């Protein structure tokens, strides 16, 4: 079966703790990195890649990927003009450079965007609207970067991610909130179409934030790898689940990014409510013993789940619940019940391995 690969944007370095949670429900993540960029991953990302080889891959944008103006040039021209008008007089006359304790530098309201991610047409429009800061490229520490207004960069990278998603079939995912500028532009009728494959990726990200405890970030590398390998079957089921949720809720048809964000969150909440109802059903209550069950080294079937926002309130109740200890007949082990079961064991194992049991 084809692996569950997600296309990450907009940065080169996704947050390591966020990525740990995502990789429990996806096979691997691919980030967009130009060929001539030297990646200097932070220690957390390097350790995760050592623990789970191949979990974080790279893909370079092709010429067709960066030509986002092919379908959206009229709207992009309006968008850049709007962004130029909306910048305050002070921001146009002053530049604030921030130097972090580690020596890295950033420019307030701007990002370093590699020139290979900008087509000549888009580059000309950025410069014409004053959305590029000239002369500060060297601050990035690498060649080939330009300093671009952050909101404009968000629009460009969303378009590139959409093109790559359509080309590769990867679902797009991001750990950033829907940019304010994208909402504002959409309300003016000049926003870009949501990223291709973004609905499924957004659903997965939202469900991950609800279903996977943050304590997974505290696990040792060996424990995390063991946990992930044990629950490999959940990634297959989850790929099917997110596609079904996006299709049933018609998320791929929503054009307004803000409305899409709201609907994705509502979908995740409804899924959790559905799980809660399952937990209270006669079927779920019928299991008297909950403990890990492996058959031939593969996970067979697992228990129930508690959403991350409610960990403090109901962690005490969930600690005694782990993986269903007996095999359920095939008629019961299907659809969302199967996902509910696997999610529960995963969450329980995370809590157990992180040592939060003793704290509670």
One domain, residues 214 and 286: yes
- pLDDT band of 179, cuts 50, 70, 90: low
Region 53-81: mean pLDDT is: 88
d(CA 87, CA 181): 11
Residue 107 bridge partners (DSSP)? 97
Q: Using the Cα atoms of residue 311, residue 312, residue 317 and residue 320 in order, give the sign of their dihedral.
A: positive
Band of the pLDDT at 43, cuts 50, 70, 90? very high
Indicate if the pLDDT at residue 235 is higher than 80.
Answer: yes
Q: 325 and 267, same structural domain?
A: yes
Which of these ranges, 81-90, 141-150, 239-248, has the smallest mean pLDDT?
81-90
If one compares 241 and 12, the residue with the highest pLDDT of the two is 12
Question: CA–CA separation, 229 vs 249, rounded Å?
Answer: 31
Is residue 37 assigned to a domain? Answer: no
Q: How many residues does the chain have?
A: 360
Domain membership flag for residue 239:
yes
Do both 98 and 202 map to the same domain?
A: no
Mean pLDDT across the chain, nearest whole number? 74
So what's the pLDDT on residue 281? Answer: 64
The pLDDT of residue 245 is 84
Strand (E) or helix (H) holding 21: helix 16-22
> Is 300 part of any domain?
yes
Per-residue pLDDT, 45: 94
Indicate the number of domains in the chain.
2
Same domain, 204 and 349: yes
Q: What is the pLDDT of residue 236?
A: 80
For residue range 294-319, list pLDDT tens digits in order.
Answer: 222 222 222 223 233 333 332 322 22
CA dist., res. 248 & res. 229, Å (int):
30
Of residues 101 and 177, more confidently modeled: 101
Tokens at 198, concatenated? 């973004």
Rounded CA gap, 298 and 99, in Å?
49
Given a cut of 70, whether residue 2 has pLDDT beyond it is no
The pLDDT, as a whole number, for residue 324 is 26
Q: How many Å apart are CA 271 and CA 242, to the nearest integer?
A: 11
Asked, for residue 120, whether it belongs to a domain, the answer is: yes
338 and 218 belong to one structural domain = yes
Please compute the mean of the pLDDT values over residues 190-216 and round it to a whole number: 76
Whether residue 189 is predicted with pLDDT greater than 70 in this model: the reply is no
Q: How much is the pTM?
A: 0.73
- 298 shares a domain with 352: yes
Q: Do 214 and 346 belong to one domain?
A: yes
Domain boundary among 124, 139, 154: 154
Span of 38-52, 158-172, 215-229, 328-342 with lowest mean pLDDT: 328-342
Note if the bond before 10 is cis, omega within 30 degrees. yes
Q: Are residues 261 and 126 in the same domain?
A: no
* CA–CA distance, 230 with 228 (Å, rounded to integer): 5
Helix (H) or strand (E) holding 162: helix 150-168
- Predicted confidence (pLDDT) at residue 290 exceeds the cutoff of 50: no
Q: What is the largest CA-CA distance in the chain?
A: 70
pLDDT attached to residue 48:
94
Query: Does residue 214 lie within any of the structural domains?
Result: yes
Cα(30)–Cα(102) distance, rounded to whole angstroms?
Answer: 27
User: According to the model, what pLDDT value does residue 60 have?
Assistant: 94
Q: Of the residues 154, 183, 209, which one is the last residue of a structural domain? A: 154
Q: What radius of gyration, in Å, describes the C-alpha atoms of the chain?
A: 22
Is 2 part of any domain? no
User: Could you tell me if 139 and 228 lie in one domain?
Assistant: no
Q: Which residue has the higher pLDDT, 31 or 262?
A: 31
Residues 83, 230 within the same domain = no
How many of the other CB atoms lie within 10 Å of CB of 327? Answer: 12
Residues 211 and 347: beta-carbon distance below 8 Å: yes
- Of the ranges 51-55, 100-104, 270-274, the best mean pLDDT one: 51-55
Mean pLDDT over residues 244-256, rounded? 78
Whether 108 is covered by a domain: the verdict is: yes
Q: Which domain holds residue 89?
A: 64-154
Q: Domain check: are 121 and 209 in the same one?
A: no
Burial letters 87-119, b for 16+ CB under 10 A, else e: eeeeeeeeeeeeeeeeeeeebeebbbbbebbbb
Q: Give the pLDDT band (50/70/90) at residue 64.
A: very high
The verdict on 146 and 251 lying in the same domain is: no
User: Which carries the bigger pLDDT value, residue 209 or residue 20?
Assistant: 20
Is 41 among the domain residues?
Answer: no
Helices (H), 212-334: 221-230, 233-248, 257-279, 282-285, 311-318
User: What mean pLDDT comes out for the span 207-229?
Assistant: 87
Could you please report the per-residue DSSP string of 258-287?
HHHHHHHHHHHHHHHHHHHHHHTSHHHHT-
- The torsion of the CA quartet 110, 115, 117, 120, rounded to 10 degrees, works out to 110
């Amino acid at each position: 079966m084809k692996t569950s690969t997600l296309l990450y944007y907009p940065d080169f370095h996704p947050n390591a703790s966020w990525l740990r949670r995502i990789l429990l429900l996806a096979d691997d993540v691919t980030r967009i990195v130009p060929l001539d960029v030297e990646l200097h991953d932070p220690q957390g990302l390097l350790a995760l890649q050592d623990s789970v080889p191949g979990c974080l891959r790279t893909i370079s944008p092709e010429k067709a990927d960066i030509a986002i103006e092919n379908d959206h040039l009229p709207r992009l021209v309006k968008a850049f003009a709007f962004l130029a008008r909306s910048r305050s007089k002070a921001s146009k006359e002053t530049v604030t450079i921030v130097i972090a304790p580690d020596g890295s530098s950033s420019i307030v309201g701007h990002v370093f965007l590699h020139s290979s991610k900008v087509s000549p047409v888009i580059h000309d429009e950025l410069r014409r609207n004053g959305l590029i800061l000239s002369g500060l490229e060297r601050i990035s520490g690498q060649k080939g970067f330009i300093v671009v207004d952050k909101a404009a960069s968000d629009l460009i990278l969303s378009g590139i991610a959409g093109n790559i998603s359509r080309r590769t079939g990867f679902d797009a995912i991001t750990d950033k909130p829907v940019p304010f500028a994208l909402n504002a532009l959409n309300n003016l009728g000049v926003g870009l179409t949501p990223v291709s494959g973004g609905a499924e990726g957004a659903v997965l990200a939202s469900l991950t934030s609800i279903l996977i405890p943050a304590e997974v970030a505290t696990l040792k590398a060996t424990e995390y790898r063991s946990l992930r390998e044990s629950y490999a079957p959940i990634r297959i089921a989850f790929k099917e689940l997110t596609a079904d949720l996006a299709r049933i809720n018609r998320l791929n048809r929503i054009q307004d990014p803000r409305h899409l964000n709201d609907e994705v969150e509502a979908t995740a909440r409804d899924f959790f409510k559905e799980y809660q109802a399952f937990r209270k059903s006669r079927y779920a209550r019928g299991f008297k013993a909950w403990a890990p069950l492996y058959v031939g080294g593969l996970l067979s079937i697992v228990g129930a789940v508690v959403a991350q926002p409610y960990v403090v309130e109901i962690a005490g109740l969930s600690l005694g619940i782990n993986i269903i200890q007996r095999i359920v007949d095939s008629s019961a082990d299907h659809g969302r019940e199967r996902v509910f079961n696997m999610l529960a064991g995963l969450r329980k194992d995370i809590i157990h391995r992180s040592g939060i049991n003793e704290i509670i």
